[in-house]
Structure 1
């Protein structure tokens, strides 16, 4: 399998060797990123975006790539993240297949893909890689780090492991640790991939690709990215025309089934299965409680109290945690916990619950709600 790198992507060479938190090292690794706007003379107008599992670094159109990005409505001149004011950096997560070094990248020893030779990946590895990039760009302190979904975890790891790297933080539909429901869903996604015979212990290629496993994994994901309210309002129980149905007594017949199938088929050949496995597992492993002060971490007490204690050690000027009532993957109480943890440490921290019907993916599509919230925070 090849990597999926959009035009205009820039690359930063990570220190070599690059140590991984759970053991092992990367040699000759890189981080893919894109930028918008201009870094001012004081170098204090930089804003870092850490995205979720599947996006690339192309958050919006720019001189290197005029195609619309995955957060096009949020980022650009005059938009909520105003590139006339901010110098914006967006990275593709370490471990991905969209430019940053991951399981689909060539191994330096033989040029063949890493596959399962890639070291165990943690959220912290991606955070450390982003910190190296920020400093290489001559930025001692970011004005703001914004993390979405998995990127919310990465942002917390960045703040915990690199004190003082940012003045402010916006955590969007993120979490300080994975709850059992989200772990269970991702476990099923990984199992679907691994049980596909074409996965072949990670040794697949373009002709023998675990398409069925990836289709099922993506469908499971999409179901959790949106809410039951949206599925009902968008599709109801509408069936598609009889002549469009497959000749299968148990084949799809409802519009929602057809939507899931179409969405999955568009995704499967655009993301490397091994990279998906590594990134998915890194989310299950992340737990901010690991960074609680020693007396709290070792007392065997309430795990949520440890998360709060860990986040209270972060020194920020301002923080905003945004979530939506209909998010079942990273539910609202997780963003409330993030805001509370920062508040305990003296940060001017706010929790903003939004009434979007669109579930976990609301930050990508419900910009009428998310845009003003982000704009207000950045302009404050």
Structure 2
């Protein structure tokens, strides 16, 4: 029996293997991971692990894989796929046969090549990235975080908690503007400024300077900021380069139908690397932790030809920043009408926004008001008119 090969050593791989076993799949399962360590959870890297609160972020106990007949091939990346021959070639030259192949390779952080290799410049994606950044932060005094997306905002919050002075740089008008819009981004700005972060928006980075280690960052407006630590958080790209010579369609991720099926027979994809077709026929990648479990249930049901394939639910994601859990339900888009019910202020420590498109509720984002966020799930799914939710809270 050849079985299923899952390429990628993270959450998507583990959830897929779990679902296969839960649904009675008895053939071999092999997880191929480029990192040396067993699959681990990534969200704590920018928060609890960076703050030194935890060191063990493994997704499963050590015995889980043996107990469930799941073979781990760690420390070796996949190099190529021959979809016609049903084989995967690893970087060490080994060739694995498969009956079914699942691509779950995630993302690669974007870097700024012009920065060179000065000591003190970091990205954050892997366990080793976090360990190196945490070691550096232990002695850092002034950090510059480039990019105010979720990673940049969470890292800024963690560094401030460690007593490091932080300057957060974002070319857009506000943090998270491209994800949550400028109105909510303005609330995020006030949150970080209230915690002592120097938030600079509408400006980019021109260069970094230093002899052997970074000493300063020059912005596009000419400002020079002293820094002994720089964190580059300008986004990531799908880890799909290894598929370049295959017959598997790739376009901002591995192109899939609505259940994770790719353009190649018996090849599937899920997680951050996968672009699934949504209910409107559009392709989209969803880079959120909670999305993976749902995709794994759908993909495995389709792979095993089960009678019932789960339907996608209302998307949910969160971001822990300082003492607040910022939560989002639904599909916020740039261009939505944003109804800011509660703006953030330092005393209240809360905010709430509803998103409207074509007259109906499409999303809710907030912090410090969990009940209003939780009760919006059904309303978003039912596409209720926005007037029905715009009540005083």
> TM-score, normalising length from structure 1?
0.32
* Greater Cα radius of gyration, structure 1 or 2: 2
> TM-score, normalising length from structure 2?
0.31
Q: Which has the higher helix share?
A: 1
Q: Which has the higher strand share?
A: 2
Of structures 1 and 2, the one scoring higher in RCO (CA 8 A, sep 6+) is: 1
